[in-house]
């Protein structure tokens, strides 16, 4: 697509959908280096295993969140409606894509409000960019009667977008102002390059109540923006950032234990979900694969995908001897290979030892 010229904000949302449909996932999350240990003496009855969990003081029926993707165009409205119905059928929380388009042009509001219409009782998450002022952020929350607000920190994407922002000074103060004034808890969100532990701690010190680590290994916005320009980013850029496992393990060992941590970036299987939860995530976010199925109008495929994630997660919980999602965090987990090297080099070696030797019931 070398003849593409970067378009308006609305075109951009449709171009992102097209790029994600065409680009393949790298799926190099590092989660293959995270090993869950079976509890051979498990005495769990299958019917006792439940997927309900708590997230920032709210009950979730599943730890899986449909992560922020789209809005702002007719195609995005159809996709959002379809995803919101999936969320309702399976009891998932759902984030909408960046609401900037609707804040600038109220005629586009329905492309986002369709999510609340289709999932009236669900947990719905608003989404704005890191430079959004507090009033606009509150408007984004109000538009969809959101339960939480994600603020995406997408510096790499901005730098690869010809029309992207180039001024980032003062954004943490803005986060603080927004967190102080909006009516719902704020989640600071990476979008595929992975947050370090200290960065997560910094977001919390500026008022965020949770973080979405947005690790490398799934949808890669450097690749997406490069696709829009018809110029491949190249291997060095596609490998820029922390893989999901590296980022998640750094973050959970750098923030207070009650922090809401969303594991995201290349979460594709029930094993990825269980590993994320076991090492300390509160919930997981999934975007790219759901977008591809929804854009194809494949409701049966969406149902199969979510059912398979839930079934695998339940099987792993039974095999690890737990009936509740948060009990996974008491079971031993071994981190090996390149991810272990990473964590040890970064000073988290003792945390890995503790993780491997946990034996709580
Ligand atoms: C088509 C598309 C559009 C996206 N738009 C947004 C957005 O507007 N705001 C945001 O915070 N993240 C956005 N994301 C990023 C996702 O929320 C998620 O962080 C990222 O895709 C990594 O997860 P994945 O590997 O499961 O796709 C988008 C992702 C996709 C696939």
- Answer yes or no: is pLDDT of 248 > 90: yes
- Answer yes or no: is pLDDT of 360 > 90: no
- Residue whose CA is at the smallest distance from ligand 1 atom 5: 69
Ligand 1 centre to CA of 69 (Å) is 5
- Distance, in Å, from the CA atom of 229 to the CA atom of 245, rounded to the nearest integer, reads 30
Ligand 1 centre to CA of 223 (Å) is 13
Calculate mean pLDDT across residues 341-355.
Answer: 98
Q: What is the pLDDT of residue 8?
A: 63
- Answer yes or no: is pLDDT of 307 > 70: yes
pLDDT band, residue 4 (cuts 50/70/90): very low
Calculate mean pLDDT across residues 34-54.
Answer: 96
Distance of CA 262 to the CA centre of its chain: 6
pLDDT tens, residue by residue, 161-173: 888 898 999 999 9
Calculate mean pLDDT across residues 128-135.
Answer: 96
From 13, 128, 288, 291, give the residue whose CB has the most ligand 1 atoms within 8 Å, as the site to mutate.
288
Q: What is the pLDDT of residue 5?
A: 40
First-last CA distance in the chain: 54
Calculate mean pLDDT across residues 86-103.
Answer: 97
Which residue ranges form the domains of the chain, and what is each CATH number? 12-28+54-301 (3.20.20.70)
The pTM score is 0.96
Ligand 1 centre to CA of 322 (Å) is 31
- What is the dihedral angle through the alpha carbons of 329, 331, 337, 340, rounded to the nearest 10 degrees? 50
| Region of residue 217 (phi > 0: left; psi between -120 and 50: alpha; otherwise: beta) | left
Nearest Cα neighbor of 226 from 69, 23, 9, 14 is 23
More confident residue, 230 or 338: 338
pLDDT band, residue 26 (cuts 50/70/90): confident
Ligand 1 centre to CA of 99 (Å) is 13
pLDDT band, residue 199 (cuts 50/70/90): very high
Cβ atoms of 64 and 273 closer than 8 Å: yes
Give residue ranges with CB within 6 A of ligand 1. Answer: 16-17, 20, 67-70, 97-98, 127, 150, 152, 189, 191-192, 214, 218-219, 264-267, 286-288, 291
Q: Which of the residue ranges 70-79, 91-100, 218-227 would you say has the lowest mean pLDDT?
A: 218-227
- Distance, in Å, from the CA atom of 272 to the CA atom of 265, rounded to the nearest integer, reads 10
- Answer yes or no: is pLDDT of 87 > 90: yes
For ligand 1, what atom is nearest to the CA of residue 191? Answer: 19
- Answer yes or no: is pLDDT of 2 > 60: no
- Answer yes or no: is pLDDT of 246 > 80: yes
Q: What is the pLDDT of residue 9?
A: 66
Question: What is the secondary structure of 1-12 as a DSSP string?
Answer: -TT-----HHHH
Residues 6+ apart with CB under 8 A from 40: none
Calculate mean pLDDT across residues 24-31.
Answer: 88
β-strand partners of 126: 149
Ligand 1 centre to CA of 291 (Å) is 9
Nearest Cα neighbor of 285 from 125, 153, 143 is 125
Buried (b) or exposed (e) across 103-117, using 16+ Cβ within 10 A? beeeebbebbbbbbe
- Distance, in Å, from the CA atom of 25 to the CA atom of 220, rounded to the nearest integer, reads 8
- Mean of all residue pLDDT scores within the chain: 94
Q: What is the pLDDT of residue 23?
A: 87
Calculate mean pLDDT across residues 324-333.
Answer: 97
Question: Tokens 């409000």 identify what position?
Answer: 113
pLDDT tens, residue by residue, 261-290: 999 999 999 999 999 999 999 999 999 999
Residues 6+ apart with CB under 8 A from 312: 269, 270, 271, 273, 274
């Amino acid at each position: 697509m070398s003849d593409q010229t970067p378009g308006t904000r609305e075109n951009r949302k449709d171009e992102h959908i097209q790029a994600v449909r065409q680009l393949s996932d790298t799926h190099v999350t590092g989660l293959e280096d995270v090993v869950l240990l079976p509890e051979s003496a498990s005495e769990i009855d299958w019917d006792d295993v439940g997927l309900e969990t708590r997230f920032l003081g709210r009950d979730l029926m599943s730890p899986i969140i449909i992560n922020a993707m789209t809005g702002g165009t007719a195609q995005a409205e159809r996709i959002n409606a379809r995803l919101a119905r999936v969320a309702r059928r399976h009891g998932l929380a759902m984030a909408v894509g960046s609401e900037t388009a609707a804040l600038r042009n109220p005629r586009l509001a329905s492309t986002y409000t369709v999510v609340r219409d289709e999932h009236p009782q669900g947990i719905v998450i608003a989404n704005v960019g890191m430079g959004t002022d507090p009033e606009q952020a509150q408007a984004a929350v109000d538009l969809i009667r959101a339960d939480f607000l994600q603020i995406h920190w997408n510096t790499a994407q901005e730098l690869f977008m010809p029309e992207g922002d180039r001024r980032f000074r003062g954004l943490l103060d803005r986060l603080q102002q927004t967190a102080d004034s909006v009516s719902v808890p704020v989640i600071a969100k990476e979008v595929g390059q992975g947050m370090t532990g200290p960065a997560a701690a910094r977001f919390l010190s500026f008022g965020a109540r949770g973080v979405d680590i947005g690790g490398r290994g799934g949808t890669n916005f450097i690749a997406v923006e490069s696709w829009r320009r018809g110029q491949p980013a190249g291997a060095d850029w596609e490998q820029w950032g922390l893989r999901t496992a590296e980022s998640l393990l750094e973050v959970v060992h750098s923030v207070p234990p009650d922090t809401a941590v969303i594991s995201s970036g290349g979460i594709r299987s029930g094993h990825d979900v269980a590993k994320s939860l076991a090492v300390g995530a509160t919930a997981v976010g999934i975007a790219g694969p759901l977008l591809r199925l929804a854009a194809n109008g494949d409701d049966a495929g969406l149902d199969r995908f979510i059912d398979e994630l839930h079934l695998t997660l339940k099987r792993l919980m039974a095999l690890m001897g737990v009936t509740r999602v948060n009990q996974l965090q008491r079971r031993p987990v071994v981190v090996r290979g390149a991810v272990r090297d990473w964590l040890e080099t970064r000073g988290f070696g003792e945390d890995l030892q503790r993780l491997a030797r946990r034996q709580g019931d």
